């Protein structure tokens, strides 16, 4: 996503309908991608995307520029995905414990999983806080600082959640790869 011009954000904050519509069009792919990758379910991702975009429009007046506009949108999208995940768990629990969630996302993560369905299933087994952090890092390719801003937690917490999420994935895979090996890979390939 290209950076939204500050002038357009200011116009949207003043209620300029054309500016608001342009921003929604521009951020929609980013928002949907975050929701889709986090939830692994088209219908839930669509619901979360809609809620996130509504929140962007409703709260654009509160955006104060302390972070980049894109980071602010990532935070709203991640929160909407987390909220939808919680609603989904409540719905699934009420409807039946026997119903399985649809797992049809297309994920690309550097791991030893050959089967994308297996990877989606493994990601769904991670605790929500680990899954969101791993998705933002390994799939959305955000750096640790951006993830900290998006989630509103310290950088050390982000690193811990990612390391613990990766360790849990490795455990689930029966893989002996350690978080240190992945961290070294990040430092070598992503400058992190």
CATH at 54: 1.10.1740.10
Q: What is the pLDDT of residue 79?
A: 92
Number of independent structural domains in the chain: 2
Residues 68 and 131 in one domain: no
Final residue in a domain of this structure, among 57, 78, 103 = 103
| CATH number of the domain within which 151 lies | 1.10.10.10
Q: Which residue has the tokens 């030893």?
A: 112
Question: CA-CA distance, 74 to 14, in Å (whole number)?
Answer: 22
Of 80, 103, 126, the residue that ends a domain is 103
pLDDT at residue 171 in the model: 84
**65 and 126 in a common domain:** no
Is 74 in the same domain as 156? no
Cα–Cα distance between 66 and 47 in angstroms, integer?
28
Does 133 lie in the same domain as 146? yes
Same domain, 92 and 118: no
Is the same domain home to 96 and 85? yes
Predicted pLDDT at 135: 85
Please tell me whether residues 95 and 154 are part of one structural domain.
no
Q: Are residues 91 and 1 in the same domain?
A: yes
In a shared domain, residues 117 and 95: no
My answer on whether 17 and 95 are in the same domain is yes
Along the 192 residues of the chain, how does pLDDT read in single tens digits? 568 999 999 999 999 999 999 999 999 999 999 999 888 888 899 999 999 999 999 999 999 988 899 999 999 999 999 888 887 766 544 333 333 332 222 233 333 445 566 777 788 888 989 988 988 888 788 889 889 988 889 999 999 999 999 888 888 877 534 444 555 555 555 555
DSSP the chain: -PPPPHHHHHHHHTT-HHHHHHHHHHHHHHHHHHHHHHH--HHHHHHHHHHHHHHHHHHGGG--SSS-HHHHHHHHHHHHHHHHHHHHHHHHHHH-TTPPPP-------SSS---HHHHHHHHHHS-HHHHHHHIIIIIS---HHHHHHHHTS-HHHHHHHHHHHHHHHHHHHT----HHHHHHHHHHHH--
Q: What is the pLDDT of residue 41?
A: 85
Domain that holds residue 8: 1-103
CA torsion, ordered 10, 14, 18, 19, to nearest 10 deg: 20
pTM over 0.85: no
Pair 56, 76 in one domain: yes
């Amino acid at each position: 996503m290209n950076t939204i011009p500050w002038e357009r954000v200011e116009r949207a904050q003043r209620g300029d309908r054309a500016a608001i519509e342009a921003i929604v069009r521009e951020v929609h792919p980013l928002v949907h991608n975050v929701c889709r990758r986090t939830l692994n379910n088209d219908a839930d991702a669509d619901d979360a995307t809609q809620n996130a975009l509504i929140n962007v429009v409703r709260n654009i007046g509160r955006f104060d520029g302390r972070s980049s506009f894109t980071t602010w949108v990532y935070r709203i999208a991640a929160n909407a995905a987390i909220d939808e995940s919680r609603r989904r768990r409540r719905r699934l629990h009420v409807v039946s414990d026997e119903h399985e969630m649809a797992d049809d996302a297309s994920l690309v993560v550097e791991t030893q999983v050959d089967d994308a369905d297996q990877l989606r299933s493994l990601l769904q087994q991670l605790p929500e806080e680990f899954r969101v952090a791993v998705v933002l890092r390994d799939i959305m390719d955000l750096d640790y600082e951006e993830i900290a801003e998006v989630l509103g937690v310290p950088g050390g917490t982000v690193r811990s959640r990612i390391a613990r999420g990766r360790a849990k994935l490795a455990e689930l895979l029966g893989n002996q790869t350690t978080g240190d090996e992945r961290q070294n890979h990040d430092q070598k390939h992503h400058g992190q």
